[in-house]
Amino acid sequence: MPNRILRDWTDSIENRIKEIELLQKGMPKVKNGNPLQAVKFSLSSEKRRLKIRLSRLNGKSHTLNQAIKLINSVGGKCEICGKSNNPSIDHIIPISKGGHDGIENLRVLCVSCNAKKGGKHGQN
């Protein structure tokens, strides 16, 4: 892909991420059941998808085969608690915190440990 086109796509994605962040900053805090909750969730989801796309454009992404190999390399066991039920792929540095989608930023956690970790960095 020519560098100019890649740069244009990257700039476009980065600009949209900034627009979303400005929208999010201007939105009021909401409680459960508020219709704005759906809008906030939608903006967060779009921002995450854009950050993953940006990561891929910058050459930082993993394939399904790499993810499967990663799970198999640890015997399907969670890297925190050691359980082997419901393995999932976790971003060590979350996409929301500036992490990328490359294989070197991934680890295997059970669904429970992954949920507990949430958007926190690094090891638990």
Extract the tokens encoding 123.
């090891």
For 27-80, where are the alpha helices, taking DSSP H only? 36-57, 64-73
The pTM for the full model equals: 0.65
- Cross-strand partners of 50: none
* Distance in angstroms between the alpha carbons of the first and the last residue of the chain: 39
- Which sign does the torsion angle of CA 97, 109, 48, 59 carry? positive
CA angle 58, 97, 108 (to 5 degrees): 85
Per-residue pLDDT of the chain (124 residues; tens, 9 = 90+): 567 887 888 899 899 999 999 999 999 888 888 888 888 889 999 998 898 888 888 778 888 899 999 999 999 999 999 988 889 999 999 887 888 888 999 999 999 998 887 766 665 5
